[in-house]
A and B are shown apart, each in its own frame.
Chain A
């Protein structure tokens, strides 16, 4: 009896102590989310006050479901995310393995590798745009000289070629981040495992498959979760590089939402799009955490 009341007291104290933190979360996360959701149930066009602001239920969501531009944008986002992350993981793992070796100047290489990551995305995107933009640009000059292209081409007017600078710049910029995350994972692996394997006659490939990769899995999954969520929200890179063009062939969902919300000032519809993006990224995060067992806390 006495024990229970003490527990109750402790629980109350606990709640009181976390209350400030909880209210901050409510204020900066739950309240805006709730408002966005409420807004998404209305017809609210800032440019057309004559329409009023009627409650229209799920009509905005139905419009999204019927909108081919949204589905195309979703496809572009998924394509971008899968391709760029696959490349980043493979190259990042290679870089991490190299950096994990003991060699002279290792500290310098580790710092130098981070340079692309340190450049603001918009600046990096402008840089890549400059490289690919004109027919007299660096990319064209190099490819023509190397004999890969017969004559200079205009990269941004065909969907297939417009993706090249987009994905290349993302890989260039983000691989260092991936490499460092994986490097941290590599350094947690006990070296004696490799020694034992070597004594047993296992070659490097076998060691990679049966020691490195399984033990690196937590780091890989954390990287995946970060990068997938980033990939799904990709905006600035594509905004600067292609603007979503040609036509809307490289438009991701975030750019489409920006357009609806901030260019056309369709607050209701744009809010509905935001809610959909939130639901998708939240679902992905849930999938990683529950489905693949990524541990974000320190409960290992």
Chain B
């Protein structure tokens, strides 16, 4: 029990005991002395009492004085020092113990020792914090570099779990799969790709159990009919058991296949259309030769002969032109900036010890840059070794049509076309193996020739079939990578009601409307975001204006700022609703006052061709569950209570309100869990207790 008393109190009690003991001993001593003097002279008892009181007071005063000194310099100092050490041990205080150490100067080496211990603690702790910060920064930088790297990979990269749900995807994947709807985390890959080849490859690889095994596959998108070539690699089986996920890389080969198909079709057509007039010709000529001496009746045969010949000529000319037109379609040519091409050319000439000046506008050329550099570099080297020149100019000229002309110019000896044509048939150089200039020209569907300008300069001319002004870039592909690797090991529950709130995927949405009557008014804007694994996926956003097919009252426009001009040309509710339904597939719908928004959508279900029978959570009711029915549950009030700010410009736009609702919902979830509501079923039951506030919007209403 004594241990529970404070140090200073214990010491005070100790000194009190000492004083009491001393007084008692003095009293005892005087009492014994009084008994030994017998008979006691008159007045002795009073004298002894006086002496005893004096001695007692003196001893007591002495003890109090010593206690005071002890308390000031030892007990209090120990208390302060202990408090300071404890603060440094548990709270992140880094200040020195100087003040406490000065107060504890009578405690011998204790204060300096404590000082040394706390200083060492602070140093260790800050070194640790620094190391953690350094590592965190390094990891964050590495993470961002890896993200950039993966975003820039020119093929679509996807990572899926064993249930084919997306765990990672890059911008190219959005481009490739996004024809029908943009991909989203935790969505099923088989919504985008026809399932046969994907399932087949996965089952083959997973059953093989070899972690490094990969399989090539050819598959098609479910919408748009794109043909994709890809490679699948199954990940290592997770340590905690279960089926492994896989990485899939995909490339659109629709154009390649179309080019090959069109070449094949053309070839087939050539044989078909040439064979017939050739056969006819043979017959007509055969008959003619037999009629050589027979007079008359040849006019029709001559006509037939001429007709077939003309037919053949026409067919060959037309097919030849069509072949020329598609010749470069399937070649592996790339959009190349002319500045890059000329820079590479300059480097190549420099390496040969030749001078090159480059001129020309900034163009995007459809070429194989490496081959063109090899072609002109090889020509430059030959011109130099044959004594034509060592100083060159590369000039790029735009042409009227879709093409450009590349000229390699020099002053000196001219190059006869005979010798030039001979060079075209010889290998360009050691580093390009057997590659000839003729092959490069064929790849590019072009020709090349030497010529001389009126000023006496000589040049090799290479027309480039496809060139355009730089600057008009195609719309950039979204470069971001989107991922949540925790999805790889996420446990799946069977029924929504039994699923933990954290494990559900939510689509939070909001509508702007022409008015407040769900029976008569119409949606003018619809927005939604996805929440996966307890976070909002920034890049997965649905937003569209909707043409309500009726006038928008000025009063409504005042609220949401959407005018009739803005919705002109926007999709109607049937199309927008169907797209939204696809976006929300497999998710729990969340909205602030969900029954209101859902009523608009459900009224149009026949036109949309799908029903909104999703599980629903309403943030109005969730707010009532968490904060009680007496609080205000407007979105503004709820957001303010949860410390969420809605920017003024975003309020009463469908997307702004959606994001505010989503952030509000994410903050409500831990509060619901704190009240013991762990699963969707728990929350639904609790929401229904507040049913008199409003309906909860779930299908059984």
Say whether A associates with B: no
Q: Which residues of B contact A (CB under 8 A)?
A: none
Q: Which residues of A contact B (CB under 8 A)?
A: none
